[in-house]
Chain A
């Protein structure tokens, strides 16, 4: 018996010695599609890229300022046409191979190679052609454009420098590298022994030994596991589960305020849509869109649907995007009476509880949204109820996400859509495809050959201006006007900005929640476990 007990103790000791002491654990809802940093197009892969990728510069998610990483200095020159980086000496990838300017050049050229079709390369392209890359010395590199490229330095926050030989689990220059992957089960990241960064006391970072990311599509299970102490954080949590965490583990629930995300709806104005002419006229009328907007109780959406963890939206950007948000914009107040007056001036009349247009057609439209997203389904039900009060019949149709995308991006066979926009970047240059009338994401009428309205022509002009103007303040002025026009015309009816809700175990130290992705993980090298 004693011998058995002894063996048991020995096995336990062996197991505890084998298990990493400082392993951070959290869940992702799905598998990353790739570990190739140049081909990341989904959020899960982006998390892995951020944790493993070594970049020349990093945007500090708290101060929004650029800070040096692999490059210890950089310089913009030639009126914003060129940027020169000086790399740190002695940099190495996780496999021990040296990192030089040639690796930076090879990575950028690969990203720009049309055969690679790299999403990372798209942001570096310019209408005047691709930049030229020149290796000045092993520690110096210059990238030059034909015309000024606004925000060129910030682009390097998303370009992970790759080693010459990238395998299935590539080496990295970031704080961690992918050491193990079991599809559908977990991804394990190990500490990069050659990571360059040190803390103020001179100790090498990162502080964690490893990170285990479990693939867990069920959010309820994710919350249960967190509450049991099996994981250390939930990067993004829904209001209902946030309340559950706040109730069972108050110290873990954190709400840093409004996120960068927006929930909004729009009417389909695309000519390709099979919509009767009279409906097309409603949807094209700014007065009709205003009336619908003024009849939606945004405060109720925030309070009831999001349990108070959301704010009525004032416009295209969330107020948490502090620099670019136009602070003069205020959320539209709920006013169905004013909506009815506005509709009356357009020839609509409310009879027997049914709103009719000048031609006597009852106002009715279908509203599509993605199924399985409870807050969005509930928002649709609130909108349906609000609009019923001004005599508008809304038929809610929930569709699986791929069918919904098929309708809004390809066939244009829908009348109105309720969806959310997850802002990954805070700079409006990333929204060119939304606001340019020729853009594919100009959702109410995409890919216009020429602007359909005068205000869209003005928005086009302002967007191109801010995209070519190097001075940040002038860019801000142009984009402020874009926001004002969008709020006046309401092609998108902005509804709420949900709060960024998160859960962090008290045993995890150094966390500074921010609204910009990757939220809790942005300073991963500084996080530590008790």
Chain B
């Protein structure tokens, strides 16, 4: 049963990934094309998911948005996890102070200051890369704290002492012995970070960071849900939310079972 669930999850993620990669071929229209005679159109043969308030095809925008979010949010989450693993493994006792400092920083103000230092004339693609890059770099502290706690527990275990006593190189201990134990935590953290980065991207739009018009992302498509009345008129507005949930459930299914971890 679990194996089937896993297969379905992998297939779904692959399908979403392929859709994202081939978005330009699959989308009926360019994501920025405005059909100004047809704003807020309901779903139909011309527009499978209707149009937004500027007459842009929702289906095409969803495909491109998937491309942006499904590739960049996991990439940013991966950056955070890698930094967290490196910091947790290297920093040792210093880590506690470092993560506390990092977590206590008023990031919103730092982002405002950062926006002020960035040039305004940034193309949408560059803007989105900067945004996800920043989130990736800034989001390491929580996972690092969890990794560090796990590493501390393992440090005094018999098998690790034995490995050290046998003269096995540190990198080998980390890769062969520690990593299998940290993998489940890493995947769980990875899974948690992805939706939070997708939603954070929408919030950062308020600071002039994030995905600039006309580029779509799941974040700025989800921002439409602030107007619940629109859902009644066009339920396809919920499509990015449904996709996000499917991706999250699939990632959950890929989580190694406890028996495997043990």
Which residues does A use to contact B, with CB under 8 Å? 220, 240-241, 244, 297, 300, 303-305, 364-366, 368, 371-372, 374, 377-378, 380-382, 384-385, 395-400, 403, 413-415
Q: Is the CB of B212 within 8 A of A395?
A: yes
Q: List 9 A-B residue pairs with CB atoms under 8 Å apart, sorted by A's residue number.
A: A220-B226, A304-B54, A371-B207, A378-B54, A381-B34, A381-B54, A385-B214, A396-B213, A398-B208
Taken together as a complex, chains A and B put the C-alpha atoms of A305 and B39 apart, in Å, by 9
- Evaluate whether A395 and B120 lie within 8 angstroms (CB atoms) in the complex, with A220-B229, A380-B213, A385-B32 already known: yes
Out of B54, B55, B214, B227, name the residue touching A220 (CB < 8 Å): B227
Q: Which residue of A lies closest to B223 (CB)?
A: A374
- Beta-carbon contact of A399 and B121 below 8 Å: no
Task: Please tell me if the beta carbons of B214 and A304 are within 8 angstroms of each other in the complex.
Answer: no
B92 contacts A by Cβ under 8 Å: no
Q: Is the CB of A397 within 8 A of B227?
A: no
Instruction: Decide yes or no whether B11 CB sits under 8 A from chain A.
Output: no
Q: Would B34 and A382 count as touching, CB distance under 8 A?
A: yes
Bound: A374/B120 CA distance, A: 20
Find chain A residues with CB under 8 A from B183 CB: none
Chain B nearest Cβ from A214, distance in angstroms: 20
Q: Helix, strand, loop or mixed for chain B's interface? A: loop
- The reply on B196 being an interface residue by CB < 8 A is no
Given A371-B205, A381-B213, verify A397-B120 contact (CB < 8 Å). Answer: yes
Given contacts A304-B53, A381-B54, A398-B212, 8 further A-B contacts (CB under 8 A): A241-B229, A244-B229, A305-B53, A368-B120, A384-B214, A385-B34, A400-B206, A413-B120
Q: Is the CB of A400 within 8 A of B112?
A: yes
Is B115 in contact with chain A by the CB < 8 A criterion? yes
* B window 198-238: CB within 8 A of A: 205-208, 212-214, 226-230
**Cα of A170 to Cα of B12 in the assembled complex, Å:** 66
A366 touches B121 (CB 8 A): yes
Q: A304-B54, A381-B214 are in contact. Are A397 and B34 (CB under 8 A)?
A: no
B116 within 8 A of A: yes
Establish whether residues A240 and B227, one from each chain, have CB atoms under 8 Å apart when the complex forms. Answer: yes
B152 CB within 8 Å of chain A: no
Quick one: which of A371, A377, A378, A395 has the most chain B CB within 10 A? A395
Residues on A with beta carbons closer than 8 Å to the beta carbon of B36? 297, 300, 303-304, 382
Q: Indicate if the CB atoms of A365 and B121 lie closer than 8 Å.
A: yes
A372 to B115, CA, bound (A): 17
Contact B120 A415 (CB under 8 A): yes
Task: Name B120's closest neighbour in chain A (CB-CB).
Answer: A366
Assess A304 versus B39: contact at CB under 8 Å? Given A400-B206, A403-B208, A415-B121: yes
**Is the beta-carbon distance between A399 and B207 smaller than 8 angstroms?**
yes
A244 to B123, CA, bound (A): 36
Partner of A399, one of B53, B54, B115: B115
Which residues does chain A contribute within 8 Å of B100, judged by CB atoms?
Answer: none
In chain A, what residue has the closest Cβ to B33? A385
A240 / chain B contacts, CB cutoff of 8 Å:
53, 227, 229-230
Q: Is the CB of B212 within 8 A of A400?
A: no
What are the interface flags for B107-136 relative to A under an 8 Å C-beta threshold, 1 for contact and 0 otherwise?
Answer: 000001001100011111000000000000
Least distance between B36 CB and chain A CB atoms (Å): 5
CA distance A73 to B163 in the complex (A): 100
Q: State A35–B34 Cα separation when bound (angstroms).
A: 47
CB neighbours (8 Å) of A400 from chain B are 112, 206-208
CB closest residue in chain B, given A375 = B53
- Once bound together, how far apart are the Cα atoms of A364 and B119, in whole Å? 13
Q: Which of A374, A381, A403 contacts B115 (CB 8 A)?
A: A403
- Bound complex: CA A384 to CA B206 (Å): 19
Q: Which chain A residue has the least Cβ–Cβ distance from B52?
A: A378
* Residue pair B120, A414 in contact (C-beta under 8 Å): yes
Expressed in whole angstroms, the Cα–Cα distance for A385 and B213 within the complex equals 10
Chain B hits for A241, CB < 8 A: 229
Residues on the A chain within 8 Å of B121, using CB: 364-366, 395, 415
Contact B53 A395 (CB under 8 A): no
Among B34, B36, B208, B214, residue most surrounded by chain A Cβ atoms (within 10 Å): B208
Residues of A within 8 A of B229 (CB): 220, 240-241, 244
User: In the complex, which residue of chain B has the Cβ closest to the Cβ of A364?
Assistant: B121
Bound complex: CA A297 to CA B122 (Å): 25
Q: Which one of A304, A374, A396, A414 lies within 8 Å of B55 (CB-CB)?
A: A304
Q: Which residues of A contact B53 (CB under 8 A)?
A: 240, 304-305, 374, 378
Q: What residues of chain A lie closer than 8 Å to B32, measured between beta carbons?
A: 385
A-B interface, 9 closest residue pairs, ranked by CB to CB distance from nearest: A366-B120, A399-B208, A371-B206, A396-B213, A381-B213, A366-B121, A397-B208, A304-B39, A397-B120
A357 to chain B: closest CB distance in Å?
16
**Alpha-carbon gap, A12 to B54, bound state (A):** 51
Closest to A396 in B: B213
Chain B contacts for A385, CB-based, 8 A = 32, 34, 214
Among candidates B112, B122, B206, residue contacting A398 with C-beta atoms closer than 8 Å: B206
Complex: chain B residue closest to A377, CB-CB: B213
Complex alpha-carbon distance, A295 and B17, angstroms: 39
Give the Cβ gap from B118 to chain A, nearest Cβ, in Å.
Answer: 9
Q: Report whether B208 and A371 are in contact in the complex, using a CB–CB cutoff of 8 Å.
A: yes
For residue B115, which residues in chain A have a CB less than 8 angstroms away from its CB? Answer: 399, 403
- Report yes or no: B112 in contact with A403, Cβ–Cβ below 8 A: yes
Name the B residues within 8 Å of A413 (CB-CB).
120
* Residues of chain B within 8 A of A380, CB atoms compared: 213
Q: Which residue of A lies closest to B34 (CB)?
A: A385
Q: What distance in Å separates the Cβ of A169 from its nearest Cβ neighbour in chain B?
A: 35
Q: Cα distance A397–B214 when bound, in Å?
A: 11
Bound CA span A415–B122, Å: 13
Separation of A382 and B35 alpha carbons in the complex (Å): 11
A484 to B2, CA, bound (A): 75
Chain B positions within 8 Å of A366 at CB level: 120-122
- Inside 8 A of B54's CB, which chain A residues have their CB? 304-305, 378, 381-382
